[in-house]
Amino acid sequence: MQITRRSALALVGSSVLAAPSLARAQSTAAKPASTPYTQRSIGSPKAPVTAHEYFSLTCTHCAHFATVTMPQVKPNLVDTGKLQIIYHDFPLDQVALKAAQVSRYLPEEQYYAFIEALFASQDDWAFQPNEDYHASIFKYAALAGMDQATFDTAWNDDKLAQFILNGQQMAEKMYNISATPTFIINGKTYPGAMEYDDFAATVAAAAKG
């Protein structure tokens, strides 16, 4: 099933953060996750606040949240036990879909580091003219320890692709998700890439009920 790139994904600006090291994801050789269909999340499931993030790996606004806001969210809210973030793929184009498939073939504990690296290097692999997306995404998967055979299996996993697209369609129908990123925080919907102060205030308000 093909997904056409939406006009909202036109390249905005030229400034890009350098890709962070994937050293955390290289501590052990990457193996396919026991299943690519399980939940991908960070933070304690016992956290008082849960944020569901609907994102596309080729969304510039999602990249902004990942590279500007998350470096404060993770140590201040996630690592302190205040917040759990559950990730939901909402691919806006075929490239994002393929990248999501590859991401889900990494072990669950490497997922967050990998998608953060893809967001930080988004211009390098997602927006270059005449890009060979298969080769460019594999470059980052290899840094995370994924071998070529596993990568190709993930890339060609049509069942996984349909699973992701089914989840996207369900989010559109049930929660009226139409743009990325969109957050559902303790049941309330917040579209757009919030800056840290706004995000932290939203989490604090949700914790108070």
Of 18-27, 88-97, 117-126, 176-185, the poorest mean pLDDT is in 18-27
Q: Is the pLDDT of residue 132 over 70?
A: yes
Long-range contacts of 65-69 (CB under 8 A, 24+ apart): 65/181, 65/193, 65/194, 66/115, 66/116, 66/119, 66/120, 67/17, 67/116, 67/119, 67/120, 68/195, 68/196, 69/193, 69/194, 69/195, 69/196, 69/199
**pLDDT of 5 above 90:** no
The CA–CA distances, whole Å, from 38 to 34, 125, 163, 209 equal 9, 26, 11, 29
pLDDT at 34 (0 to 100): 62
pTM (2 d.p.): 0.84
Nearest C-alpha neighbor of 101 from the set 59, 46, 155: 155
Q: What is the mean pLDDT of residues 57-67?
A: 98
Per domain, the residue ranges of the chain are: 37-208
* Average pLDDT of the chain, as a whole number: 87
CATH of region 37-208? 3.40.30.10
Mean pLDDT of 40-54: 98
What spatial distance separates the first Cα and last Cα of the chain, rounded to whole Å? 41
